[in-house]
Amino acid sequence: MKDRVPVNRPEAVVFDFDGTLVDSYEAIAASVNHVRSSHGLPLLSTAEVRRHVGRGPIHLLRRTVPNSDIAIDLAKYRTHHPSVLRSGTHLLPGVAKTLRELKDASFRLGICSNKPAAFTRQLVKILGLTGLVDAVVGPEDAPRIKPAPDMLLAILSRLAVVPTQALYVGDMVVDVETARSAGVTVWVIPTGSDSKETLAKASADRLLGDFSEIAALLIGGSTAQG
């Protein structure tokens, strides 16, 4: 995959959450297994659950709980999740430092995730990101979830930028699809559900090796086409 960076510095940088900013798979797996236990099903490993994260809680439960009654099981999941939210989630390496650097450089920062928005907002506070993140959008905030463009366009509106003024950073092919459908430049990092090999085949503008590269590229003034 050929790396490309924006010709012009963006005004806003929007991030996916699970797998991009945080490792939350332990918490997600715990809540999935809580639902599975209610059906008398054996526990799944975190690695097994991780493969299904990123396309929203309905997709997650349909893939991990056979014959799920989505309305009932989603309620079970959401009731259980606050009990493991804090203990099962931590920032990925370089995230806090990079977000501070971007904020200090006057970028507008947002989070656009298929994770229920209430959980994302709670974690933003728990992880000390409140002063760094300007807006959070989840599946409740738009008609369609990713990979439809609705959520990303909604957060761009909240950040008062147009697609050509934004950069989206994610960890999955679904993030590339979302950005492309919204007309937004997209970078990916292999710290989430999709492997480096899978991401290399996607049409992202850049495949990052390390989260700290974001600040180095944007603040360091690297704007030439790669």
pLDDT, tens digit (0-9, with 9 covering 90-100), for 144-155: 999 999 999 999
| pLDDT at residue number 207 | 96
| pLDDT at residue number 54 | 83
| pLDDT at residue number 220 | 75
Structure tokens at 173: 């092919």
User: What digits encode the pLDDT tens for the residues 78-125?
Assistant: 999 999 999 999 999 999 999 999 999 999 999 999 999 999 999 999
Mean pLDDT of 163-169: 97
CATH topology of domain 12-23+90-219: Rossmann fold (3.40.50)
Measured CA to CA, the distance from residue 192 to residue 51 in angstroms comes to: 9
* H-helix segments, the chain: 25-38, 46-50, 57-64, 70-80, 95-104, 117-126, 150-158, 173-182, 196-200, 213-219
Measured CA to CA, the distance from residue 203 to residue 98 in angstroms comes to: 24
Structure tokens at 31: 């809540």
Give the pLDDT band of residue 8 (cuts 50, 70, 90): low
| Enzyme catalytic residues | 16
Cα dihedral sign, 169-174-180-181: negative
